[in-house]
Chain A
Amino acid sequence: MPRWGMVIDLDKCTACQSCTVACRVENNVPIAGQRDSSNGRAIFWNEVIPVIEGDGTHLKGRFIPRPCMHCENPPCVQVCPVGATFKDAEGIVRQDYQRCIGCRYCTVACPYGARYFNWRAPEFAESHASYRNPDAPARPRPVGVVEKCTFCVQRIERARRRVAAEGRELRDGDVVPACVQTCPGRARFFGDLDDKHSQVSRLARSPRALRFLEDLGTRPQVIYLMEG
């Protein structure tokens, strides 16, 4: 049983936001529009956070792509009163849209801000509905529940079926989430953290490796490699 994890190399990241867009396409995340965007109602399973500090010519700019961290000790799962958010057997923090009561305790408890409440029903303008990803786990969510990054679980399933058809086991690199596949700087890596030889576990052992807000004991399964 793999334990899925992701590595994001901030030194290779170009802040292009391709991950953000690819994620929204792949996972049928609806468009919020101007009003809802400025009112804080837009949903980003993956988001690039800008951090620009300093003044004059002494500025430091940093851009942090932020998917769900899929913590080993997820605070969101701990606080969910109905078990609508849960950690699946492969370490992915998932959301059961049919069970969620919309109390938003998990959104409050997530230190990373990776969970989004869908304040309104998803809408697709006319012909825009045509491009919706038909894969079942990516179907648009009903209004009033919390949604989040799934590590593109539908792609994991697809990879499994493909591999099964080929009559072999999953190998490193078989599963590629949308954000990883599109990343132009090749800054994102995905794989099995329990497999010592996988690319992600090798990178996770890098001296540049860092897990955000590690002191909270959440043990994120998304590991960042620092710049410089």
Chain B
Amino acid sequence: MSISRRTFLKISSATSAGLLVTGRSELKGAQEQGGRSDAADERWVPSVCLQCPGGCGILVRVVEGRAVKIEGNPKHPINEGVLCPKGQIGLQILYDPDRIKGPLLRVGARGAGQWKQIGWDEAVQRVVSRLKALRARGEAHTFVFMNGRNRGQMGDLIGRFCSAYGTPNNVGHSSICADGSALAHYLTQGIKSYLGYDWDRTNYLLCFGAGFVEAWRPTTRLLRAYGHMRRGRPIRAKIVQVDTRFSVSAAKADEWIAIRPGTDGALALGIAHVIVKEQLYDEAFVARHTFGFEDWTDAKTGESRLGFKSLVLREYAPEKVSKITGVPVETIVRIAREFAATRPAIAAGERGASMQSNGIYNRMAIHSLNALVGSIDTPGGVIVQRGPSFTAWPDVVQDDLAKVGIKMHRVDSAGTARFPLAGKVYQGLPEAILGEGPYPVKALFAYYTNPLFSTPDVGRFYKAIEKVPFVVSFTPFMDETSEHADLILPDHTYLERWHDDVIYPSLGYPVVGLRQPVVKPLYDTRNSGDLLIQIAKGIGGSVARSFPWTDFVDLLKFRFRGVWEGRRGTIVAPSFAAFWKKLTEDGVWAAPPYRFGEWGEVLKTQTKKFEFYSNALEHKLHDLAKKEVEKAGEKGSEVTEAQALERILVGLKLTARGPKVYLPHYEPFRAPGDPRQFPLLLNTYKLMTHAEGRGANVPWLQEVLGVHTGMKWESWVEINPKTAAELGIADGDPVWVESQVGKLRTRARLYPGAQPDVVNMPFELGHQAYGRWAKGRGVNPNWILVNEYDYLGGTAGFFSTRVKIFKA
């Protein structure tokens, strides 16, 4: 900030002069006269938050056209009127002085920050002509659409745009988020999504590496659940936090189990061992609703197959698990007994367990515990989120160009033998772009996603983006990716636009909120939904025909018509117009309660059971092996299916062979690098104040950044006091944290909750762009993270980096 002293004085004296009238006399006056705000034009406008994917309902107090306070919407079932700190700060996003105020065209070098303000017509025209040309050349598939916060219809709209245009490369961000969990659910339950949990009725929570009250989703729902589990009902639930650090969640739990990074799966299997061995599991549930628990015989081949029971009894005795995890044997046994004896109980896990090199197996192991104690689709157990009955999308109209394009290999190799289960490999794009991919990337859109900040070993993306000739960003903020874009088509902020928001999986029953403009757009920005429809129309032909809506609101109404036609839930109206009106007043539609016992919705595997032994995984790997055999055959070489499978397993860096591959098991945690050179493991985590890296330019969040360390406005690395003493590092010292990828200078915080050989760094800061408060402040651990994969799902291992620390 460059305020000269003279201006400063002027401002401050003006402020104080303007304030001279406050005080007791005025307080009294306000009481008598009714105060200024009530005399003025004041409204409360319902909308939906967007700081995290939770989809909480909000009410915004608008006085004289200015939004002045955000509260929770009491009608919205996910947050019931309360709001987390990220929800509170929306005003500093709306009124961020560093917002992009209109379409920008790059005029200088990439990243040099030289822009030309252009009109929307010109901006749209540029995109259209570029995309049209690409398509005309038969290169539609070289267009990559990266997207992050694609809530509500935006996700489908983007998918539809890609299909109509003719590219398979719709790259969502979930491979760097928490796809490990979704894939584990897919392999065991057949549902490729996050799951809901009936927190309000559970009596025991065994939480593996999920920041229950900090960083898990949906934030406010979990915070509410926490309060309810503790004192909102007669029975106080026990919460056990398995974590590599003493997080706030661990502090707020009844018990913290310190575990070595990446070994959560082993602990879960050790617990399973005790439960099975002591016959504490729910025999009825296991018998009726699971597959692969006992040893079984393959009907087709007559082979005898290993069951989950034998596997855990054979390989995961507490003594062995204790050695792997560092958790004492007694603790493993005690927790197992508690977990099995307390019904209903939930075993949950998230990034700490799932975004590891062995994440999917870890999460399968954890989720197996729920099946063992029968906590699937029971009150107080795991539930499956249902969606609103939106009008079905009309078929995408595809011309030949689109049909050819869409069948091309994905540029990120998702779904191939390299990443068999992956739907997208967000963080793998740089390699693909820099030459490893099947074809070059010629155009890239980034919608509410910032790969130049949020991928491990993020330096790779800086190199990669230079190779993409046409980059378009849609965010209202000058983030790192926008800064390297050719064209910025700034969206409204979430408080200025129409947008729906289907809740994050949690409550089970269908809920959708409506985001509507609470104030008129402050700047010359445009709803990306409208824009995509415009671009599609501009491209014309089949692409245009795939988008028969006039604008995004028209599309929303089309989709919501189906919800209205369902005639259930909180809004039942005689006409759609009445339904829509009520929706804008309530801000939300919901159809409680959750319906238990719809097993067809809950267990969607081939066997319609909870699969300890994953047929889906077996089929996928065998299909890929068969393809390899075919491919080899085409080249004239002779490869057996077994050989091909072996080659795939080696490629996936799996140590298991045989049936164990398809069962939850512990794959040794990988952290590349020499432990002698880099003796410490770097653990990264998200803070409550972390709004997906988008909170960095929000002073309100910066000023309460780390509640457990008291740190504000800057980054830190948590070091165990004993380790720090050995390294000669004192609290507050500037230090270098160095990995094989790079090094960062930050501040040391001596924290007893750091394990001796693990250091912890939070995400959020370290922006090179974004705005006056974000830029150049703190460090982004992604710069030194090794880009390790869980190859099975193409997910990023965020905890696989070895580092050393020394005084700066």
Contacts and interface: CB of A to CB of B under 8 A. Distances in A.
In-complex A–B contact (CB below 8 Å): yes
Interface of A: 9, 11-18, 20-22, 24-26, 31-34, 37-38, 42, 48, 50, 52, 54-57, 59-63, 94, 96-99, 120-123, 125-128, 130-137, 139-143, 153-154, 157-158, 160-161, 178, 181-187, 225, 228
Nearest to B89: A21
Interface in B696-724: 699-704, 707-710, 712-714, 721
B801 to A, nearest CB: 23
A33 B16 contact: no
11 contacts: A14-B248, A15-B707, A16-B688, A18-B82, A18-B84, A52-B708, A59-B256, A120-B12, A134-B64, A158-B38, A182-B71
Contacts of A37: 703, 712-713
B246 A121 contact: no
B753 A135 contact: no
A220 to B, nearest CB: 21
A122 to B, nearest CB: 6
Nearest to B34: A161
A21 B88 contact: yes
A228 B236 CA distance: 9
Closest 8 CB pairs of A and B: A61-B251, A185-B227, A98-B23, A184-B223, A34-B713, A121-B12, A12-B227, A131-B91
A159 to B, nearest CB: 12
B4 interface: no
Given A96-B24, A157-B35, A16 B230 contact: no
Contact of A158 (B15, B35, B82, B84): B35
Interface stretch (B25-33, B184-192, B650-658, B674-682): B25-33
Contacts of B81: 181
A86 to B, nearest CB: 8
Nearest to A53: B752
Given A99-B23, A161-B38, 17 more contacts: A9-B230, A14-B213, A18-B87, A22-B83, A25-B69, A50-B707, A59-B256, A96-B23, A98-B20, A130-B91, A133-B68, A135-B37, A140-B15, A141-B19, A182-B88, A184-B223, A185-B224
B22 A187 contact: no
B548 interface: no
A134 to B, nearest CB: 5
B97 to A, nearest CB: 4
A135 B708 CA distance: 33
Interface residues of B, number: 90
Query: Chain B's interface: helix, strand, loop or mixed, by majority?
Result: mixed
B36 interface: yes
B22 A97 contact: yes
A104 to B, nearest CB: 18
Contacts of B224: 184-186
Given A99-B24, A128-B95, A184-B224, A54 B82 contact: no
A133 B69 contact: yes
A133 B85 CA distance: 17
Contact of B777 (A24, A34, A50, A56): A34
B700 A24 contact: yes
Interface string B56-99: 00000001101111111000000101111101110110111100
B24 A98 contact: yes
B40 interface: yes
A186 B214 CA distance: 16
Nearest to A186: B227
Contacts of B30: 135-137, 154, 157
Nearest to A24: B700
Contact of B82 (A11, A94, A128, A184): A184
Contact of A121 (B15, B38, B95, B772): B15
B632 interface: no
A142 B63 CA distance: 23
Given A32-B703, A50-B709, A14 B226 contact: yes
B27 A15 contact: no
B40 A134 contact: yes
Contact of A14 (B20, B223, B777): B223
A136 B713 contact: no
Contacts of B36: 134-136
B723 to A, nearest CB: 12
Contact of A50 (B16, B35, B85, B708): B708
A136 B22 contact: yes
B88 A22 contact: yes
B220 interface: yes
